[in-house]
Amino acid sequence: MTAVSLSSLSRKVRKSLGLSQDGFAQAVGVSKASVQNWESARGGPSPKTLGRMGDLAPAFAEEIQKAIENFEWHPGASREKSNDFHLPPDIEHEIKRQAHKHGLDTSDILLDILRLGLAALSSGHSFNQAMAKIQSAIARRAQEKYELEHPTRSDRKRPRSKIA
């Protein structure tokens, strides 16, 4: 389902409920700006929000279920290419920069970002809290790598002196 049809669907559901954009936003747990973006086709509701819309307007359950099944993270991307994932160039550049800065593999950085970011967000942390956890994990991983590559004197095995 494209952003345009999601736009149409969210507007139809809102109007069927007789709600203003602000009232609808409160009912589905998002900001008024999100609703405005949906209705002007600058984005679309997430599957979770679509589910809330379905709870509010059962008459649209079938259309909403289709929207959830056809949900695409990037409007305009084809379903056939869903396994062909590419990062936006600015994000790819920043991941490579961070990997180089910390002496880590790019895939390590990306995996930390995805794993920790999703865990933090799904446990109710804010975006800023999630980012702080990611930055901390990357720094910790870089420190661990440095310590493995540059052991301190106490980490090195020293021959024991014989005491007579």
* Within a domain: 161: no
Contact in structure between 39 and 10 (CB atoms under 8 Å): yes
- Indicate the residue among 40, 58, 78 that finishes a domain: 78
Residues with Cβ within 8 Å of 56's Cβ and at least 6 positions away in sequence, in order, are 13, 17, 27, 28
Q: What is the pLDDT of residue 21?
A: 92
Q: 25-41 in b/e burial notation, b at 16+ Cβ within 10 A?
A: bebbebeeebbebbbeb
* Within a domain: 101: yes
Q: What is the pLDDT of residue 85?
A: 57
- Please list the pLDDT of the chain residue by residue as tens digits (164 residues): 544 477 788 889 899 999 999 999 999 999 999 899 888 888 788 778 888 888 888 888 888 887 777 665 544 443 333 344 566 777 778 878 877 887 777 777 777 777 777 777 777 777 777 777 777 877 887 888 788 888 776 655 555 555 54
Q: What is the pLDDT of residue 132?
A: 79
Which amino acid appears at position 87 of this protein? L
Instruction: Write down the pTM of the prediction.
Output: 0.43
At 41, is the secondary structure helix, strand, or coil?
coil
DSSP 8-state symbol, 105: -
| Structural domain for 54, as ranges | 3-78
* Within a domain: 164: no
- Indicate the residue among 48, 78, 108 that finishes a domain: 78
Name the residue with tokens 């305009």: 76
Q: What is the pLDDT of residue 75?
A: 46
**Tokens representing 158?**
């020293």
Q: What is the pLDDT of residue 15?
A: 92
Q: Tell me, yes or no, whether 54 and 9 share the same domain.
A: yes
CB-side neighbour CA atoms (13 Å) of 25: 13
